[in-house]
Amino acid sequence: MKQLTIICPALNEIKFIEQVIHDLCVADGIDKEVLIVDGGSTDGTQMKVKSLMTTYSNLKLVNNPRKTSTAAFNIGVTESQSTYVAFVGAHARYSNGYFNHAIKELNTNSCDAVGGPLQQEGKTLTGKGIAVAMQSKAGVGNTEFRTSNERKYVDSVAFAIYRRSMIEQAGLMDESLPVNQDDEFHYRINSLGFKILMIPEISSVYYVRDSYSGLFKQYFKYGLYKPAVLKKVKGSVKLRHLIPAFFCVYLLSLPVGLIFNFWFLFLFIYLMLITAAALISKEKWVVKLLAIPAFFILHLSYGLGFIIGLIKNKNL
């Protein structure tokens, strides 16, 4: 039995797959296997993985006919028999000792799942602006793994390492959720009394979308499926889930400002707040300016998605 199975979903990740495999397969004293669970890539990702399998004996390519990352996790868990299971992303880099620190923490019995802070980075100027918004509380609320670097128990964390015994008790991820599946899974394990710990000793870098259209599509999907998650796990709703939807309703009500001038004051305050949040970043001026529309797109897309998702889940 392996000590650790690392599951990495992939679908047309040729730009990232070689680097992430190097990060995941590096010799670190852990008896591990790395499963690239591919959803049918057509850009050369599968060929690249197969070529790297000659370099890394612990690397495997697994087919994912259901394509989603949710299915990738479930397939990977079913394929493996390890003591611990990690669920990671191809658009990321992982710090040295990432899995060693995690397993050490799990061995203390202080938690049942462990992860670290997530640092957002962009590869283009627009991407860097988007990263500013995605790691600001003004952009994503109090999502702790995006905005905090403290050791603490959390509701959710990115790229976690889990005890297999916990997964066996909690069940696999819900494949009716193509996105937000880890949120639902984490809310579920919290509701069962299991603990998720975030530790600063491990961290990862996530490469954000490099276009505003990509950001809009990503966060629209997050918003669209969030009501389904909240419906499945009662009591998990937070104020940050609702604010973008309220913001969209407010935007639709702006014609009221033609009657009551003060109505536009809220929009002015909002624009001042996101501008201030962009300007206090340590990035250069062009990135600060590109971050301002990123805040707006993030809030608008998530809010619209949430409203549509709420309509589809009327009994929430």
DSSP 35: E
What is the SS3 assignment for 222? helix
Do the Cβ atoms of 305 and 289 come closer than 8 Å?
Answer: no
Phi-psi region of 171 (alpha: psi -120 to 50; beta: other; left: phi over 0): left
> What pLDDT score was predicted for residue 259?
73
**Rounded distance between C-alpha atoms, residue 203 and residue 216, angstroms:** 26
* pLDDT tens sequence for the chain (316 residues): 789 999 999 999 999 999 999 999 987 889 999 999 999 999 999 999 999 999 999 999 999 999 999 999 999 999 898 999 999 999 899 988 899 999 999 999 889 999 999 898 999 999 999 999 999 988 888 777 877 788 999 988 989 999 999 999 999 999 988 888 888 899 899 989 999 999 989 989 999 999 999 999 999 999 999 988 888 776 666 777 789 999 999 998 888 766 777 788 888 999 999 999 999 998 999 999 999 999 999 999 999 999 999 888 765 5
> What pLDDT score was predicted for residue 315?
56
Q: Which two tokens stand for residue 122?
A: 């962009």
> What pLDDT score was predicted for residue 122?
93
Non-local (6+) Cβ contacts of 184 within 8 A are 173, 174, 177, 229, 232, 233
> What pLDDT score was predicted for residue 255?
82
> What pLDDT score was predicted for residue 130?
96
From the list 32, 39, 72, the residue with the least C-alpha distance to 56 is: 32
Non-local (6+) Cβ contacts of 177 within 8 A are 70, 184, 225, 228, 229
What architecture does CATH give domain 4-212? Answer: Alpha-Beta Complex (3.90)
> What pLDDT score was predicted for residue 37?
96
Query: Given the structure tokens 């040295």, which residue do they identify?
Result: 96
DSSP 67: -
Query: CA separation (Å) from 59 to 128, 234, 249?
Result: 32, 39, 48
**Rounded distance between C-alpha atoms, residue 309 and residue 179, angstroms:** 13
HSE-CB at 105 with a 13 A cutoff on CA atoms is 26
> What pLDDT score was predicted for residue 313?
76
pTM of this prediction? 0.88
All structural domains of the chain with their residue ranges? 4-212, 218-312
Do the Cβ atoms of 135 and 119 come closer than 8 Å?
Answer: yes
What is the SS3 assignment for 65? coil
**Rounded distance between C-alpha atoms, residue 166 and residue 159, angstroms:** 16
Do the Cβ atoms of 309 and 226 come closer than 8 Å?
Answer: yes
Pairing of strands 92-94, 32-38: unpaired
